[in-house]
A = this chain, B = another copy of it.
């Protein structure tokens, strides 16, 4: 049944490389990827354990709160990965408008190369759990807030007033979120590219 057997990690604690990843990390990473692609309800703990090459016992050892606690950790992990990508895009150009365009290009490439499966790491889970799993919803809200701050800082650096930057950053994250959803459903980069063009145009009206 299993194509890969659970592994006994004797190298725990060495950390740092790619080879020696602790069991807990493997579980969180597998959960994050599955939540991104299948959402919360569509992802089973058994599947997470299988993908992480861990056993069910290990999952409940590290996450005694069960699926919800694991989902919160996975969302936080996805938040970091997405933040890294945003930082990379925003650093690509001094001009905030051009930097946002760079972000949309990064997202579009990642999406196309994953055959349109790797979109926003929190969107699917967030929509499924709105009003039904407060802990998870809070983690999703914090992720969105964090990403917004990254964009807001970039806009401030580009010379925009702080209030303007904050509001514009919120709209930018919303737009990226919606454009990525649309791109996935339509299997096309166009929505993300169009979002980039229009966001740049909008930002320039404030410069």
Instruction: Point out residues on A near B: beta carbons under 8 Å.
Output: 37-42, 115-117, 119, 123-124, 126-128, 130-132, 137, 140-141, 144-145, 167-168, 170-171, 173-179, 181-182, 184-186, 190-191, 194-195, 197-198, 201-202, 205
Q: Would A184 and B117 be within 8 Å (CB), given that A174-B175, A175-B178 are in contact? A: no
Distance in Å from the Cβ of A34 to the closest Cβ of chain B? 12
The A interface, classified by DSSP as helix, strand, loop or mixed, is helix
Which residue of B40, B42, B137, B190 is within 8 Å of A185 (Cβ)? B137
Contacts of A115 in B (CB 8 A): 131
The residue on B at minimum CB distance from A36 is B127
Copies of this protein, total = 2
Closest 6 pairs (CB-CB, A-B)? A178-B178, A177-B178, A41-B41, A41-B42, A124-B127, A174-B178
Which residue of B128, B167, B181, B197 is within 8 Å of A39 (Cβ)? B128
Contacts of A194 in B (CB 8 A): 167, 170-171, 174
Distance in Å from the Cβ of A170 to the closest Cβ of chain B? 5
The residue on B at minimum CB distance from A177 is B178
A182–B116 contact, CB under 8 A? no
Distance in Å from the Cβ of A152 to the closest Cβ of chain B? 13
- A140 vs B170: C-alpha distance in the bound complex, in angstroms? 26
A128–B126 contact, CB under 8 A? no
